[in-house]
Amino acid sequence: MPLPGPPTALETAEYLFNHVSRYYGLPEDIVSDRGPQFTSRVWRAFFKCLGVTISLSSGYHPQTNGQTERKIQEIGRFLRTFCHSHQESWSQFLGWDEYAQNSLRQSTTGLTPFQCVLGYQPPLFPWDGEPSDVPAVDYWFRESERVWGKAHRQLQRALRRRRTTADLRRSQAPAYQPGQKVWLSTRDIKLRLP
């Protein structure tokens, strides 16, 4: 959702309820970073009344919310690329970007987000290219097709880039056995010890 600036805690809770929960139901738990709107009393009280638990990710452990962080980076890259040439109209095409994101097969599940949530994959871009008798409708579909294609290509490039980058840093995981002792770093864990 395009917003004029960072929302307050109450606005964030209302947006989440009005634009997510009404379609998918209330979550049992919300995992978020430690942004001011997610640590506020308003946020906690709002979801406590709804029976939703709040979990905050560790400050020095971005992997806790890694999927979300990667998705935000992908969307940010697409928006920077697209908005460069469409600074006045970018928000009207966010729906097509979301449609493209939800149609991209995920390596972890082998399915698209649409398939995971809906149980099927809707048509990718249903317009057959036939011009309309109405110029405004024709223009909207041509622009949407262009945005869809650009979003889909950008997502494919991001996926390839992410896979290549991840493979560079991967190494064989050690094989631990039950009862084996390992070192645990406490560098970023606040302990109440002298």
- pLDDT tens for each residue of 73-84: 777 777 777 677
| Amino acid 53: pLDDT | 92
Using pLDDT thresholds of 50, 70 and 90, give the confidence band for residue 8: very high
Compare 41 and 122 and report the one with higher pLDDT: 41
At 175 the pLDDT is: 87
State both tokens at 56.
């905050």
Q: How confident is the model at residue 13 (pLDDT cuts 50, 70, 90)?
A: very high
- pLDDT, the chain, mean: 81
Q: Is the Cα torsion angle 174, 177, 59, 1 positive or negative in sign?
A: positive
Instruction: Write the pLDDT tens digit of every residue in 59-113.
Output: 666 666 677 777 777 777 777 776 776 777 777 777 777 887 888 888 778 898 8
Is 55 exposed, middle or buried (CB count within 10 Å of its CB: 0-12, 13-18, 19+)?
exposed
Give percent above pLDDT 70 in the chain: 92
The pLDDT assigned to 62 comes to 61
> Is residue 151 predicted with pLDDT exceeding 80?
no
Among 106, 108, 89, 194, CA closest to 147? 89
Of 90, 100, 85, 92, the C-alpha closest to 151 is 100
Percent of the chain at pLDDT above 90? 14
Per-residue pLDDT at 129 exceeds 80: no
pLDDT band at 130 (very low <50, low <70, confident <90, very high): confident
